[in-house]
Structure 1
Amino acid sequence: MSMIFDPFRELDRVAANLLDRRENPRVMPMDLYRDGDHYVLTADLPGIDPGSVDVDVDGQLLTIRAERTARSHEGVQWLARERAAGAFLRQLTLGKDIDTEQISAHYENGVLSVMIPVLEKAKPRKIEVATSGDRQEVSA
């Protein structure tokens, strides 16, 4: 197998390796949208062991943690190694109108989906408008 040498890509890779040698968790890409009476958070976690995924809520802070372990094969010569290994972390502050007791999560095909329901009191509701014909007369 041959690879074309690109000096700029190699320089980017070396710089990223030098600058990314920290112990801090990496950030996972995510989408967040509202669908009716709940929010849906989807996070990309390809290659993550489902057993390492941890979702918890503490007050109004939602925390997602996961870990990808680097596979080490003795005697191999790596030609390219771009997939990040280590801990991944994402934290979101939830609004006060969130039902934190009913949050649920599902991990499938490398995507974590978190369903975040809205409290009943925060859902939109229709207000009935009374007309003057609906009033009752008060007699003295």
Structure 2
Amino acid sequence: MLRFDPFSDLDALTRGLLTGAGSSRTPRFMPMDLCKIDDHYVLTADLPGVDPGSVDVSVDNGTLTISAHRTARSEESVQWLANERFFGSYRRQLSLGEGIDPSAISATYENGVLTVTIPLAEQAKPRRIEVAHGADRKSIETKSAG
């Protein structure tokens, strides 16, 4: 099961605002969706314009880390009329709970969207338990005293 800590993102945002780290041109977050489908979780994150070679997904000590980088255009002959796209490094971390199979996590990056599939471990998957029927029941006879 994945543990979601809504306060970790809030803490990171507060630190960024209070310390003045970053600028208006540096990305502050990576929008993502997370859902459970059957026996796995699917995480999708928007990373438009990111170099596919810079996308990194890793798992260490129960923490899934996603990072990527978008390089700024550095052409000196450019005269900007509008320059609103963010550039720099993106990073997002999630705590994986018990019952996840970290060795089977897979990821794809296509059309600016990163998709990470996080499967449940075999022991965490729901399973049906067969109930044995007593077809060979034997009755116990008792003798009455008397």
TM-score of the alignment, normalized to the shorter chain, above 0.5: yes
Q: Which residue of 2 aligns with 1:108?
A: 110
Distance 1:138 1:120, change over 3 A: farther
Q: Percent of aligned pairs with the same residue?
A: 62
Distance 1:87 1:138, change over 3 A: farther
Deviation at 1:81, TM superposition (A): 1.3
Q: 2:62 aligns with which of 60, 63, 68?
A: 60
* Paired residues of 2:57 and 2:64 also in contact (CA < 8 A): yes
TM-score, with length taken from structure 1 = 0.75
Distance 2:112 2:138 in 1: 66
Counterpart secondary structure, 2:81: coil
- Rg bigger for which structure? 2
Distance 1:83 1:51 in 2: 20
Distance 1:138 1:100 in 2: 52
Q: 1:78 aligns with which of 56, 77, 80?
A: 80
Distance 2:75 2:136 in 1: 82
Distance 2:138 2:28 in 1: 68
Q: 1:33 aligns with which of 22, 32, 35?
A: 35
Deviations 1:55-83 (A, max 9, x none): 10002100000000101221322121111
Structure 2 unaligned spans of 5+? 1-19, 141-146
Structure 1 unaligned spans of 5+? 1-17
Distance 2:34 2:28 in 1: 18
TM-score, with length taken from structure 2 = 0.73
